[in-house]
Amino acid sequence: MILNPSTIIMMASFLLLCLSSCNALNKNRTCVSELSNPEVPAETLITQGTPVDASHTAATADLVIKNAKVVTIDKDNPRAQAIAFKGQTIIAVASNKSIEKYIKEGVTEVIDARSRLVVPGFNDAHIHFKFVDPDYIDLRYTTDPGMITEKVKEAVAKARPGELIRGGHWEHEMFYNRQWPTKELIDSVAPNNPVVLFRADGHSVLVNSYVIRNSGITKETPNPFGGQIQRDPVTTEPTGIFKEKAKALLKYGQIPVHQTPKEQEEQRMRGWQAAFDLAMKSGVTSIQLPPGGDFDIYQKFKDMGKLTLRVYSGGSLTADRQKLRRYTELQKRYPRDGNWIRFGYLKGFIDGTLGSGTALFFDPYVDAPENTGLAQMAYEELEKLVVTLDKTGFQIGIHAIGDKANHWVLDAYEKAQQLNGKRDSRHRIEHAQILHGHDIPRFAALGVIASMQPTHCITDKRFAEKRIGTERCKGAYAWQRLLDAEAAVAFGTDYPVEPINPLEGLYAAVARKDRAGEPGNGWFPDQKLSMEQAIELYTLGSAYAEFMEDRKGMIKEGYLGDVVIFNNDLMTIPHDQIMSAKVDYTIVGGKVVYKRKGIN
C-alpha cells in the first residue's frame, strides 16, 4: 500500500497526540517519550504495576565498570558505583543495580573495580609531548655534578667522533653545592663531540668547548636581546651556560648519523610508541601542546587505530603571514568540534624562568640585586601581536613566570578586549607562577585561564624565597587564591620539564611539600587544594581550557568515555602514599588501552 502525504501527516499527528497523553491514559505503563528522555533516571522507568523488561529499555553496553568508587567531577551527580560505555561514549553513570540492564552476557565486557577509585582521564594542559629518545642522557634528580661527567663519558664511548651528545633535566639547585655547572665538567670526556645538556626548565643549556668554538663565541661576544651568556667572573670567558635567546647563538657542528630512510622511520615510530605508552601508563588521556606538535604522526597513529590520547596542538605566536595561513589551514583540517586531533592555541614567551633567574619582575631578585629578569620582547610588541591575533580569532597562550611578566600579559589581553570587543576567547597564561595580588582578580574579569603546573611549586620552592623573598612568594603558585577569585585554572605537567605522571602534580597540589616529604603543614599551606579540587583542575579545568568542557572532563552520560582506575583511593590515603599509587586501567573512548600487568 502506498500512502499519500496527507495520510502520513494525519498518522503522525495521531501518534504525537497519543504520546503526549501517555502519562494521563496509561498509569501502569512506561511511555515511549520517557524512554527517549535522557533526563529521566533509569529507576523511574519502572513505574507502578507490571515491571518492564530492562533488556528492552536500555542499550547494550560494550563495556561496564561496576563495584567502583566513581568520582565523577559532575556536581549534579558527584558519586556513582558504575559506568556503562557504548562506542566512545558514556551511556550511564549509576548504581550497581541500575547498571545491570546495560550488560548482556557474551557482548558486554565487565570490569569489576572491587571498590577501586575511578576518575575522569587526565588532561595535561601544558605538555611538550614528543617521541622518546633512548640515547638522551637523563640527569633528573642528579645531586652530584660529577654524575654529569660520568654519564657524558658513557654516551661518548658509544658514539663516533663528531656525533651530537644530547641530554638534560639537570637542576643546579639540587646539586650539593648549588652552583651552576660549567663546561669543564664535560670537556675532558668529550673533546671531539658536541655536547648540549638542557637545564630542567629548558631555558638554559650547558655546552662544551667544542660547541663554543664551533659557534665562534668568545668573551667579546655580546649578550643578545633577551639572552645571557654566563661568564667566568675572573676571565670573562663563557662558562658553557647559555640562557634564553643566547641559545640561538649556538652551532653544534655535529656530523650526521647515517641511517636508511627505513631505519629512520622505524626509530621514529618506536620513539613515538614509547611516548604514547608512557602516557597510557600514567592515566593521561588528553594532551595540550604549545608549538612543536607533529600532526602527521598523530594522524598516522589514528589511522592505524593506535592513537591512545586526544591531542590539542597549536603553533607559535607570530606575525608571519605565511605561518598564520598554515595555522588557518590546520584549524580547518583539525577543527575545534573534533574529538581526537584539534588545532590549539598560539604560544609566545614574555620572560624566562625562576630557576634560571630570567623570570621578569617589577623588583630585583633578592640574590641578584642587579637583575630583574629578561623580557623576551618589548611590551609594545607583545600588545601588537596579541591585539592582531585576537582579532583573527586565534586562542593565545603566553608563557609568564614573574609578576611583571604576568601583569604585561594581562594588560595585553585587556587591550585586545578594549579594541576588538569581548568574546569567548579563553586566552591563557602558561604557568602564571608568581602574581602580584592586584592581578589575581583580573584573570576572572578578563576570562583568562591560568594554565598551571603544580609540580613546579614543589620543585621551585627550594630556592624561591632565596630568589625573590617571602613576601612575593605569597603570590607564588597561588591556586586557591585564583579559585577564590573565580578564575579558571587548568593543570598540567610541563613534561619533560617535570615528570608526566599526574600523581606528582596531585601530591604537589594537596601537600605543597617536597617529594621526599617534610615536617609541617606545607609551603604556604593556605594555598593547598583538596584532592577532588586537584583532580577537577586536571580534568574539567583542562577541558575548559581547550573548549571541550561540554563533552570531556567529567564522568557523565553523553561524555567521551575517558576514565582511569587506580589501585588506591586517592581521596583517603595519606599524602605520602599518593605518588606510589598505580594506574590499573586507562580507558580512552570506551576502550581499554592500558591494563597494569597482573591486574584481574
**Per-residue pLDDT, 53:** 37
60 close to 102: Cβ distance less than 8 angstroms: yes
Average pLDDT value for residue range 44-69: 63
**Per-residue pLDDT, 58:** 82
590 close to 88: Cβ distance less than 8 angstroms: yes
**Per-residue pLDDT, 70:** 98
pLDDT band at 57 (very low <50, low <70, confident <90, very high): low
Higher pLDDT, 528 or 36: 528
In this structure, which amino acid lies at residue 158? K
pLDDT band at 1 (very low <50, low <70, confident <90, very high): very low
Q: Which of 578, 430, 459 is nearest to 523 (CA)?
A: 459
- For residue 270, give every residue at least 6 positions away whose Cβ sits within 8 Å of its Cβ, in sequence order, or none: none
Chain mean position to CA 522: 24
Cell, residue 544: 575548559
Give the range among 28-37, 81-90, 244-253, 424-433 with minimum mean pLDDT: 28-37
**Per-residue pLDDT, 38:** 32
b/e burial code for range 146-180 (CB count within 10 A of at least 16 → b):
ebbbebbeebbeebeeebbbbbbbbbbbbbeeeeb
**Per-residue pLDDT, 11:** 45
Query: pTM for the whole thing?
Result: 0.85
Q: Say yes or no to pLDDT of 600 above 90.
A: no
pLDDT band at 134 (very low <50, low <70, confident <90, very high): confident
**Per-residue pLDDT, 46:** 26
pLDDT in tens, 302-356: 999 999 999 999 999 999 999 999 999 999 999 999 999 999 999 999 999 999 9
Q: Say yes or no to pLDDT of 562 above 80.
A: yes
**Per-residue pLDDT, 95:** 98
Peptide bond into 519 cis (omega under 30): no
Average pLDDT value for residue range 284-293: 94
Percentage of the chain exceeding pLDDT 70:
90
Phi and psi at residue 456, to the nearest 5°: -60, -30
Q: Say yes or no to pLDDT of 218 above 80.
A: yes
**Per-residue pLDDT, 12:** 44
Average pLDDT value for residue range 4-16: 43
Give the range among 74-83, 264-273, 387-396 with minimum mean pLDDT: 264-273
**Per-residue pLDDT, 2:** 42
pLDDT band at 94 (very low <50, low <70, confident <90, very high): very high
Mean pLDDT of the chain: 90
b/e burial code for range 181-212 (CB count within 10 A of at least 16 → b):
bbbebbbebbeebbbbbbbbbbbbbbbbbbbb
Percentage of the chain exceeding pLDDT 90:
85
pLDDT in tens, 198-208: 998 889 999 99
**Per-residue pLDDT, 18:** 40
Helix (H, G, I), strand (E, B) or coil at 250: coil
166 close to 330: Cβ distance less than 8 angstroms: no
**Per-residue pLDDT, 375:** 97
**Per-residue pLDDT, 258:** 80
Cell, residue 306: 593506535
pLDDT in tens, 378-426: 999 999 999 999 999 999 999 999 999 999 999 999 999 999 999 999 9
**Per-residue pLDDT, 513:** 97
386 close to 419: Cβ distance less than 8 angstroms: no
**Per-residue pLDDT, 557:** 98
pLDDT in tens, 135-168: 899 999 899 999 999 999 999 999 999 999 999 9
Query: What is the C-alpha end-to-end distance of the chain, expressed in Å?
Result: 57
pLDDT in tens, 518-553: 999 999 999 999 999 999 999 999 999 999 999 999
Q: Say yes or no to pLDDT of 36 above 50.
A: no
**Per-residue pLDDT, 259:** 82
93 close to 70: Cβ distance less than 8 angstroms: yes
